[in-house]
């Protein structure tokens, strides 16, 4: 099975690199500078278990049709990335996006059809170092994937190629529910840390911090329930544990913001505010975070 990984940043570099290390037929679709760096220096992956240097194949445009396309870019780069990947997507290609929020699902379905667009959820804490290497910190490196309607005869073949590659992977018959649960978690983390400019641990130890986090989590959870996707018990427990931590837990959105980088404010926070408005759910804290992110984006555009 030919695999095209669209995006060679921290997420795409990690999962694509591990697949290549496991002997899968992997090609990275990257921007010219990144592709040249991969060709010249390889892809270095460092995690708590050690360091690996790989020399994967990298191209700046598809060289044929691929069976599986993993899309690992930020939401604001999706349209450009899909335009670049489109020549490599055939009639029977499966597309698994590793993006946050839900708007990308509609984009993929509209552009390529529901038969090719699946859902994907990844959990990983990773970044690129100053030399372009992938650094995975402690925590999960997990990937779930599946057709949006839960049923597709291609699931066994996709599962075979994505499992057993050095990270936790599984096919899911409830991928839409998982997408919503991750969205709620990320929106809560992103809104809290960017609005109050600090980690979850710092917020919890500040006056009124615990009450603020509980109220924000109640807002985001209520939106999901109103939209027909209430959090399941395991997701509720994860959300509660995350907002109760005293560790310096942050969101990738916060880390991007304090570095002056573009943020996914609209896709993660703004879209959930819009969903709340559609269902008449009051979300004053989430809306305030969205306003703050919009002000930041306008100033850094």
Q: What is the pLDDT of residue 138?
A: 87
Q: What is the pTM of this model?
A: 0.95
The CATH architecture to which 178-299 belongs is: Orthogonal Bundle (1.10)
Ordered mean pLDDT values, 10 residues apiece, the chain (301 residues): 97 97 97 93 94 96 97 96 98 97 97 97 93 92 95 96 97 98 98 98 98 98 98 98 96 94 97 98 98 96 79
35 touches 56 (CB < 8 A): no
pLDDT given at position 301? 79
pLDDT at residue number 150: 84
Please give the pLDDT value at position 132: 92
Annotated domain spans of the chain: 3-173, 178-299
CATH among 3.20.20.70, 3.40.50.720, 3.50.50.100, 2.40.128.20 for 3-173: 3.40.50.720
pLDDT at 190: 98
Q: Which residues contact 233 (CB under 8 A, 6 or more apart)?
A: none
């Amino acid at each position: 099975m030919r695999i095209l990984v669209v995006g060679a940043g921290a997420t795409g570099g990690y999962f694509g690199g591990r697949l290549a290390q496991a002997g899968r037929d992997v090609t990275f679709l990257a921007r010219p500078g990144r592709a040249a760096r991969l060709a010249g220096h390889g892809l270095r992956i460092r995690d708590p278990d050690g360091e690996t240097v790989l020399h994967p194949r990298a191209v700046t445009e598809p060289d044929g049709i691929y069976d599986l396309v993993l899309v690992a870019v930020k939401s604001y780069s999706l349209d450009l990335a899909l335009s670049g990947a489109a020549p490599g997507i055939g009639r029977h290609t499966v597309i698994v996006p590793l993006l946050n929020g839900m708007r990308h699902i509609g984009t993929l379905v509209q552009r390529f059809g529901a038969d090719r667009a699946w859902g994907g959820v990844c959990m990983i804490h990773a970044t690129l170092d100053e030399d372009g290497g992938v650094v995975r910190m402690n925590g999960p490196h997990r990937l779930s994937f599946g057709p949006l309607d839960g049923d597709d005869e291609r699931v066994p073949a996709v599962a075979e190629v994505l499992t057993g590659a050095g990270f936790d992977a599984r096919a899911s018959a409830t991928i839409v529910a998982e997408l919503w649960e991750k969205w709620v978690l990320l929106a809560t983390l992103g809104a809290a840390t960017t609005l109050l400019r600090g980690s979850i641990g710092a917020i919890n130890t500040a006056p009124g911090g615990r009450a603020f986090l509980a109220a924000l989590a109640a807002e985001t959870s209520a939106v999901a329930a109103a939209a027909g996707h209430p959090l399941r018990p395991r997701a509720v427990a994860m959300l509660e544990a995350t907002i109760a931590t005293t560790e310096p837990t942050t969101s990738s959105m916060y880390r991007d913001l304090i570095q002056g980088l573009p943020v996914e404010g609209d896709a993660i926070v703004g879209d959930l505010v819009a969903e709340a408005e559609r269902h008449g759910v009051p979300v004053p804290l989430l809306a305030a975070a969205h306003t703050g992110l919009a002000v930041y984006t306008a100033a850094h555009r």
